[in-house]
Amino acid sequence: MSQFDVKQETAPLRVEATTTTDGFTLFQDAPKNPAVVAMRVNGELLDLFREVEAGQVAEAVTIDSEDGMNILRHSAAHVTAQAVQKLFPGTTLGIGPFIKDGFYYDFDVDNPFTPEDLKAIEKEMKNIVKQGQRFSRRSVSDDDAREELANEPYKLELVSLKGGAGSADNENVEVGEGELTIYDNVDAKSGETCWSDLCRGPHLPSTRLLGNGWSLLRSSGAYWRGSEKNPMLQRIYGTAWPTKDELVAYKTRLEEAAKRDHRKLGVELDLFSFPDEIGSGLAVFHPKGGIIRHEIESYMREQLLAHDYELVNTPHITKGTLFETSQHLNWYKDGMFPAMHLDEVTDDEGNVTKPGQDYYLKPMNCPFHNLIFRARARSYRELPLRLAEFGTVYRYEKSGTLSGLTRVRGLTQDDAHIYVTDEQVKDEIKRQLDFVFDTLRAYGLNDFYLELSTRDPEKSVGTDAQWQVAEDTLREVGEESGLELVDDPAGAAFYGPKISVQARDAIGRTWQLSTVQLDFNQPELFELEYAAADGTRKQPIMIHRALLGSIERFFAILLEHYAGAFPVWLSPEQVVGIPVAEEYAEYLGGVIKQLKSKGVRAKLDDSDDRMPKKIRTHTKAKIPFQLIAGEEDRSQNAVSFRFRDGSQRNGVPVDEALTLIMNAIAERKNINTAEDL
C-alpha cells in the first residue's frame, strides 16, 4: 500500500497521509522546482520534519509562495544572527522577524556595525549556507528556556511575556501563547549543534536552501521593543529571494526607488522642507511645492463640486468633550497630542472660580461634520448629504515612525462624510468608488486593486448583525467593480469596515490611497436623525471617504511616481524661454508674455549664463517645455521645443506652439519627449 494518496496535483499540492509519517516523506515525489520547504496541516505552518498523522491532509508550501518566502527570510535572519555571534563574541540577541521583502535582526553589540562588518558577516553567512546546516526544532519548558538563555537578557524578557498582551507581532516570531521552542542549527555531517535560538519557526529544512538569492542591505539603530525608554540596539536589515535573478531585480527596484525618494527630490527641486524650528513631522511647502499642492487641491475641489459635494470648514482645535462623544478619546488617545487645559479663571488669591477645560488638536474631521449635520433638522430629501473638507489634522506619531511627507504629524485630509438612508448605501458606495477611480486616473494613477478590512472583535463597537450587513455590502460592491479584492482580516477601524483602493505606481510599488468606510456608530453617538418619507425619525448611515488620503502623502506618492517630472498641469514651472543669444530675448519674451496671459506658468531666462548651461539647469529642474529661439525662429515667427529627454521639435509656428502647450495642460498630459506632444 502507498504511504500517501495525492489528493490534488495542482498548486498548492495537498497530500493525505495513509500512515503516520513526516513531511519529507509525504512530499518526496513533489516537483523539486520550486522546492517544497514547509507544509500546512490543519491550518498550521509546520517544518517538513514534523509528524503528520494518518488521515491528515498536508498542503505543500513552496519557496516561491508568500508563506515560503516568509520562511526563507526568517531563516536568513537566523543565519545572520549566527554569523554575528561567531564574529562578535559577547553579542546578545534581540528579535529577528521576516518583514515585507526581507528580514531584520536586532543585536546588543559594543559598537555600531560598519559597512566592512556587514561584508564580513555576509562572508560568514555564505559559509553557513554552504555547510547545509539543518534547522532542528525542539520543545523546552519555561524553566529550561530560562536556564539555556541565561546569557540572553532580551530573550529572557520575551519568555516572560510569552505571547501576552505586552508582546508585539514581531516578538511573536520568538514566543507564542503555547509551548516554547528552540531551533538548533545542526551540522549535517557531524551532527553537532552549531548555534541555537529561541523561535517559534517554522524554518527551511537546511541553510543550503537559502542559495544565493539573499543579501544584507544596511544597519541602523533601533530601540528594544520599539520604545525610547529601552536600550538602543543595532539592527541589520537584509533581503532574501528564491533566486539570484529575483534578488538582482529587487535591488534594481531599490535603486530606482532611491532615485525617486520624495525626500531627496523635495530638496533638489526646492519643493518642501522640515525646519527644526517648527518640529518633527511638520512640513512647510516652498513656492514650487505650493503650486503643485494648489493644483492637486484645485482639481479635487472642482471634482467635488461636480459630484454634488458641499464644502465645509472646521477648526483645528476643540473641547475634549467632542472626542469623548465620538469615542476617539477611548480608542485613539495615544495618537492624539496631549490636552491643553484652557479657560480656567482664578481670583486674586489663586482660587479657581471657573473650572477650565481640556482642548485637543483634532486628529479627525468626522465629529465636526456630525455637528454640521445636527445643526438643523434634516429630511430624507437631502440625502445623500455629502460634506467635504480639506481639513488639517494633527496626530502624535512617534518620532521613529516619521518619514518625510508619507508619515507626518500635521496633515491635510481630503475628507468627506456622506449621510445616507439604508436603501442608499450600496449605490452610494459604488458611486464613491467610481469617483475615486476617475479622479485618481486624472492624476496619472491607473493600476488598482481593492482591499476589504473586516472587524477586529477585540477593537470594535456595534452589533454582529450591523457588521455582517456592512461587510457583505462592501464585499458585494468590491466584487462588482471587477477589480481584484483582497481580504484584510481584523483590519477595520473600531466603528465599521472599509474598502481601500490600493494603487501601483510607475515602478510597481503599492500605496494605499482612497478609503470608503461604513459607520453605524457615529450617527448613534451623536444622535443624528432625519425625517423619513413616512414621517418617522430615522438614523442615517455614515460613509467616511478619503480619496487622496492626505495631501502631504499624496504629494509624496505623485512626486515618486513621476520621479519629479510632473505632467504639465502639475509642474510648478511649465515653460521656460531660452534665447540663443541676447538679441533674441525680446522676441522670445513676447511669446512668454502671451503664455502668461493665458495662465501658463512661464518665464524667460535672460540671465548671463551660456545657452548650454541654461538647458542643463532647466532640464535638471524637470521643466516640461523649453522654448528656444534664434534667428531662423524669429524670422519665421516660430519657436523650437526642447523636451525633458533632450529631444527637440524645431520651427513650430508661435500660434501652433501656444495651442500645443494649452492643450497639454488642459488634457493633463505628461510630456517628456517630442513624441508625447
| Dihedral pair phi/psi, residue 590, rounded to 5° | -65, -40
3-state class (DSSP) for residue 282 = coil
- Say how far apart CA 71 and CA 233 lie, in whole Å: 24
| Dihedral pair phi/psi, residue 399, rounded to 5° | -60, -35
Which amino acid is located at 233 in the chain?
L
Q: Which of 395, 601, 614, 642 is catalytic?
A: 395
Domain boundaries, the chain: 14-62, 66-162+170-250, 285-345+357-558, 568-667
CA distances from 18 to 22, 36, 54, 59, 183 (A): 12, 20, 5, 15, 29
C-beta separation of 81 from 68 below 8 A: no
Strand locations in 403-509, DSSP E? 410-420, 447-453, 485-488, 498-504
| Grid cell 511573536 in the structure block, residue | 172
Q: Which residues of 604-614 are buried (b: 16+ CB within 10 A; e: fewer)?
A: bbbeeeeeeeb
522 is catalytic: no
447 is catalytic: no
Is the omega angle on the peptide bond into residue 355 within 30 degrees of 0, that is, cis?
Answer: no
C-beta separation of 364 from 187 below 8 A: no
3-state class (DSSP) for residue 585 = helix
| Grid cell 519665421 in the structure block, residue | 636
Residue ranges of the chain whose pLDDT lies below 70? 1-11, 163-174, 176-177
Q: Which of 544, 545, 622, 642 is catalytic?
A: 544
Q: Domain 568-667 carries which CATH code?
A: 3.40.50.800
Q: Which of 260, 409, 431, 498 is catalytic?
A: 498
544 is catalytic: yes
CA dihedral 666→672→674→675, nearest 10 degrees, is -80
- Say how far apart CA 149 and CA 95 lie, in whole Å: 14
3-state class (DSSP) for residue 380 = helix
Q: Which of 203, 260, 366, 601 is catalytic?
A: 366
Query: Tell me, what DSSP letter sits at residue 509?
Result: -
Q: Domain 66-162+170-250 carries which CATH code?
A: 3.30.980.10
pLDDT at 30: 78
DSSP lists the bridge partners of residue 76 as: none
Q: Which of 162, 417, 601, 622 is catalytic?
A: 417
pLDDT at 93: 97
9: which 3 cell numbers? 496535483
pLDDT at 281: 95
DSSP lists the bridge partners of residue 14 as: 8, 59
392: which 3 cell numbers? 488639517
Q: Which of 82, 133, 234, 413 is catalytic?
A: 413
pLDDT at 485: 94
- Say how far apart CA 161 and CA 148 lie, in whole Å: 17
Is the omega angle on the peptide bond into residue 12 within 30 degrees of 0, that is, cis?
Answer: yes
194 is catalytic: no
With a CB cutoff of 8 Å and minimum separation 6, the contacts of 250 are: 101, 239, 241
100 is catalytic: no
pLDDT at 172: 59
Q: Does domain 285-345+357-558 have CATH number 3.40.50.880?
A: no
Q: Which residues sit in the known binding site for Zn(2+)?
A: 366, 417, 544
Q: Which residues sit in the known binding site?
A: 366, 417, 544
CB count within 10 Å of CB 81 equals 24
Model pTM score: 0.84
Q: How far is CA 15 from the centre of its chain?
A: 37
203 is catalytic: no
304: which 3 cell numbers? 467635488
C-beta separation of 481 from 433 below 8 A: yes
Q: Smallest Cα–Cα separation from 302: which of 294, 313, 292?
A: 294
| Grid cell 507544509 in the structure block, residue | 39
Helix and strand element counts for the chain (H, E)? 19, 37
- Say how far apart CA 283 and CA 261 lie, in whole Å: 16
Q: Which of 106, 197, 415, 633 is catalytic?
A: 415
602: which 3 cell numbers? 512661464
pLDDT at 108: 96
Query: Tell me, what DSSP letter sits at residue 283?
Result: -
CA distances from 118 to 112, 121, 124, 642 (A): 11, 5, 10, 46
Query: Tell me, what DSSP letter sits at residue 548?
Result: S
307 is catalytic: no
Q: Smallest Cα–Cα separation from 392: which of 336, 315, 318?
A: 315
Q: Smallest Cα–Cα separation from 595: which of 671, 657, 676?
A: 657
